[in-house]
Every structure is written in C-alpha cells, then in structure tokens.
Amino acid sequence: MKKLLIFILFLFFLLLINPINAVEFTGIDYKNEYLEPGKTYDLWVIITPEKEINNTVIGVSPYGVGSEYIQIIKGRDYEGNLLQSEKGVGHFIIHIKEDAPSKDYNILAYCNYTKDGKKYSDNRIFEIPIRGKPTLTVENPSVINEGINRIYIKIKNKGTGIAQNIKIKFEEGNNIYALSEGYIKYLKPGKTGTVEIKVYGENSGIAKLPYTLTYSNPYNDLQLVDKRETESRKSKTITYNYKNQKTVEESGNLIFKIIPNDAIDLNVKDCSFPVGKVNNFTLSIKNNYKDSKFTVIIGKYYIGNNQKTLSINYGEIKNITFNIKVEEMGVKEIPVRIIFGGNEIERNISVNIIGKVDLVLTGVNVEGITEKTITGDLSNIGTDKAKSVLISVKKTERVIPLRPYENYFIGTLNPDDYGSFELHAKVINETDSIPIVIQYRDENNNLIKIEKNISIKNLINPNQSQENNDYIPLIIGILFIVGVLFLLYWNFFKKNKKIIIKNNKNNREV
C-alpha cells in the first residue's frame, strides 16, 4: 500500500515538471463583431510553438450545442514545419445555420504536430458570438381608392434577430401622397407588425410611393468595409476598416393601383343578426366601374361556402348571400374582399349580433270551472334577457280577468331563467282557451307584446272526444229494453193466449 502511494506521488511530480503544451493558441479571428445565422465566414486560428514542431495540422470543430448550428466547411489546415515562436495561421470556413439562436457558442481549435519524433496534440476552446440580424419586408394593399385612404402596411421580420425602433417614412410619390408615418417599437424574428397610414390617392391608375424604413439591431454589427496592407522593410501592417451596421436604413417604393372612389357601392341588407343562429348575410353590390365578373369572399363567421362569383354589368345592382353564424353578441366586423376587373378591394362590414328573447309557457295548470286559476312558469329559452316581464289575462267577450291576479309581474328574465306566475279569470261563455298577453322590454327598452292562448278544452268537457261514438251504449240500452218488453209481452200475453187456445182445443176434443 505504501509502495503504491509513493508511485502515484512520483507520477504527479513528473507531470508537474514536464510542460504539456508546447504550442500556444494565440488567437482566433473572424473579422466581425458578431456572426450572423445563415452566413458563411472565414475563420483564422493563430498558434505560436514554444519549440520547433513538424507536421503541424490546425483544425476546428464545434463544441457542445454549437455542433447543432455551426457547420464546418473547411476544418483542417496543414502548416508543416514551424520554428520556435514562428506564428502559424490556420484558415477555416464555417457556416452558421439559419435557425441558430443568438448566443455565444464554443468552438474547439486543435493542433496536431510531431516533436522529437513523437506525436502531440494540443487544443483550446474559443467562444464565437452569433447574433441574429433582422431583415424586414414591407407589404402594402395593392388597391386603394381615389382620395384619402386609411391603409394598413404590414412589416414582417424575416430575419433572425430582433428589429428595434422601426420607422417608416414616406416621400412625395407619383400620384400618391402619404399623410402620416408609421412606427413599431420592436419585431421579433418571424413576426409581423401593422402600421396604419393615411394616404391620398390623386387619380385612378398606378401610383408609386417612395419610403424609407429605418430600424436598429440590438447589438453592434461591425461590417468589414475596407482592408489595407502597408509593408515596410521590417514589418507588414494590415488595417481593417469596419462600419457599425447597428442602425439600418432601407429605401424602396410601395406600388398601388388607385381605382375610382365609387367603383362599387357595397351595402349590407340587414346588419342585425341573432346570436348563435345561422343567418343570411346579404351584400348588395352596385357596379359603377364597368361590366365585370365579381368574386366576393367573406373572411369570418361563414358557414359553408365563403366565396361566390357573379357577373354585374355597369350600373347594375346585385345581391349576394352568405350563411353566417356568430356565437358572441356585440358589434362584429366581417372582412369582405371583392375582386373585380383586376382590382381588389377589402372592406370590413360591421354587423350587430344581438340576443333574442324567446318566452315560452311551461308547466301550465288550469283549475276551476267558471273561475279559473292559471298557474305555471314563463321560461326564457332565448339568448337575450327580457326586462319588466308582465303576464296578464286578456279581456274578451268570453273571458274576464279577475282580481287580484288579472296580471302578474315577473320582472327580469335572463336567458335560461324562468319565473312563476298565477292568473285568475272568469269564463262567462264556453271557450276552448284563455288568451294571455306577455309584455316585456328588450335590451333597447322597446316594449314587446306577445299573445298566447292557454287551452282549457279538456277541463270543460273531458269526454268531448268520446261524444262522436258514444251512441253505441245507448243503442245497447235500447235493445236491452226492447228485449225486456218483448219478454214481458211473451210471458203475459202471447203465452197466456197460447194456453187459452190449447185449453179450448182440449175442450173441443173432449
């Protein structure tokens, strides 16, 4: 045990006195502040040997999560013989994958060499910072009307980094003028922002609106602009000139087609619909443009087909109907796209989705013959609430309401709610039903009256349904009495007569 411990200490001492690294990794260079996803870069690794080395090969490989996002295109560089303190520069080509998230990645640099006839290998891990760069695109509606338009410009970040302080400014255009500017605080990669811009279309035709889009990177973005080499007798100097591209400015033109302001008149036939029901959404289109084929597309709430095509001649008005169903109450916007004659317009049609009161009588019971007591429930099976609900007996020639319950106040009935009631009435002439009036106020305080009839048919004459064929027992009764009368006649008269005749015959024979 003691010998083993001395041996381990001896090995440790040997490691301490023999230096492991004969090569020093002096630096790594990629000529940029940051590396961007989707781009290919040259990479240089510089080594300085402490002693002369031979068969020197320098290489790089991604390390850790970097292997997922860093692709090595050229990863080995042969340097051969290097004298003591002679710098060796290995050149490599790497590609940063498109989906590389912004962070610092590790890359392993290694050097294989021979020294004194023996093979050695040293390595070092370097950090390379990868930062995404935003790339913005601008989309504008292709068609606007003559005059002032409120348009929405979509700015999409198709890059890999966040864009900050996005501003869009416009210059005076050809046949079009911008009346406002747009600003978005930031846009993450893959996200789209919308800015509302007021533009003035001068005349119908094609219009071009120049714009300047400025935005900034969250990081410094040093781009190599210039490289100069100056050589003297003793030394060679290389000067790199960088430009910080943190703030980006891009220019372009937005192209519009300006159509006459009154190319079409678009109206909606009915803009109030009950919630939760399939309704007919009818649009009325008047063509002020020219004979064209119109394709109408609605973007929301449709049931079944949301696209219909029809031909409308100049000056003609035609209706087009879609089925819609909206599950929420309130004012809703239905986007409508109309494509005609190579033009396309988009409008949002506002519809008011309202609840509907639906009151039904349930559990109605009528007691009494002439003086009726009607009890039951009034249930709201609709989607809107009924306020100030009052139920009353309607006075007619046959029915007179009776106090104290000639009417009954139920109050507010919310959807899926019910209220009990009691009504008293007197039937002065025979009738099959008692007329009831239900009145309530809707959400807009409109007074609504509904009349319903409560049947009292069964109560007045429970056997009325049998009246039609109840002569059969009566006929049986008549037959029974006829039979009995015949029996009595037979017993009292005919039989006695027969006996008398029989006696007379006997007397004659005697």
Binding site for another protein (CB under 8 A): 366-371, 373, 458-463, 465-467, 470-474, 476-478, 480-481, 483-485, 487-488, 490-492, 495
Which residue do the tokens 């400025």 mark?
214
Q: Chain-centre distance of CA 332, in angstroms? A: 14
DSSP code of 36? P
Backbone phi, then psi, for 217, in 5-degree steps? -80, 150
Beta 247-259 vs 143-145: how paired, if at all? parallel
Q: Give the residue with the Cβ less far from another protein, 192 or 461.
A: 461
Q: Coil, strand, or helix at residue 317?
A: strand
Closest distance between another protein and the C-beta of residue 481, in Å? 4
Closest distance between another protein and the C-beta of residue 396, in Å? 21
Q: Give the residue with the Cβ less far from another protein, 238 or 474.
A: 474
Closest distance between another protein and the C-beta of residue 467, in Å? 7
Q: Give the residue with the Cβ less far from another protein, 404 or 473.
A: 473
Helix (H) or strand (E) holding 502: helix 495-509
Closest distance between another protein and the C-beta of residue 401, in Å? 18
DSSP code per residue over 376-445: EEEEE-SSS-EEEEEEEEPP-SSEEE-SS-SEEEEEEE-TTEEEEEEEEEEE-S--SEEEEEEEEE-TT-
Q: Quick count: other Cβ atoms within 10 Å of Cβ 53? A: 26
Q: Give the residue with the Cβ less far from another protein, 278 or 484.
A: 484
Cβ neighbours of residue 118 closer than 8 Å, sequence gap 6 or more: none
Q: Give the residue with the Cβ less far from another protein, 5 or 472.
A: 472
| Structure tokens, 152 | 């929405």
Closest distance between another protein and the C-beta of residue 494, in Å? 11
- Compute the distance between CA of residue 396 and CA of residue 432 in angstroms, rounded to an integer: 13
Closest distance between another protein and the C-beta of residue 404, in Å? 15
177 forms beta bridges with: 200
Q: Give the residue with the Cβ less far from another protein, 69 or 405.
A: 405
Q: Give the residue with the Cβ less far from another protein, 83 or 484.
A: 484
Q: What is the CA radius of gyration of the chain?
A: 50
Closest distance between another protein and the C-beta of residue 419, in Å? 23
